[in-house]
Amino acid sequence: MPREWKILLVDDQDYTRQLLRNLLMSVAPEPKLVQRRYSFLQASTAAQATYAFNLYRPDLVFLDIDLPDGNGLELLHQLKEHRKDCFIVMVSGVSTLDNVKSAISEGAASFIVKPFNGDKIFAVMQLFDKFIEEQSLAKKML
């Protein structure tokens, strides 16, 4: 039975979390992507995200920058301190150069600007496939 990949969706807007989930499910069967099974976790605050991250250890996180109880960039830093191997994608409606630079320097694998679409999600999932493949090869070499 194939592994189930855990995805944590962090955004204060329920609509955005549902849209992300739906887009992820719509691109999952793409032939260019590795076929996977997903389970989804959701959080609307930094506190909920931290709790879910520590408890469930997701493989992939979509993290909004603007959260009601904290800054997603600071949360990114904390999450990467705990698990450098987690694939984290920053999501924001504010794509300033500072936000993008900060996100990448803190270890984000990608940055998606709202509003996003299936093509952007597909591109992120291709990066995730490559990331998983590289991790698998690295483990085999050990």
**pTM check: above 0.75:** yes
Q: Which domain holds residue 81?
A: 4-141
SS3 content of the chain, % helix, strand, coil (to 5): 50, 25, 30
HEC-encoded secondary structure of 93-141: CCCCHHHHHHHHHCCCCEEEECCCCHHHHHHHHHHHHHHHHHHHHHHHH
Q: What are phi and psi of 92, to 5 degrees?
A: -160, 150
Burial of 138: CB neighbours in 10 Å, binned 0-12, 13-18, 19+: exposed
Q: How many CB atoms lie within 10 A of CB 112?
A: 19
Q: What is the pLDDT of residue 1?
A: 55
CATH at residue 39: 3.40.50.2300
Mean pLDDT of 118-142: 89
Nearest CA among 64, 59, 75 for reference residue 20: 64
List pLDDT tens digits, range 6-16: 999 999 999 99
For the chain, how many structural domains are there in total? Answer: 1
List pLDDT tens digits, range 28-54: 888 888 867 899 999 999 999 999 999
pLDDT tier at 2, thresholds 50, 70, 90: low
List pLDDT tens digits, range 59-115: 999 999 999 999 999 999 999 999 999 999 999 988 788 889 999 999 999 999 998
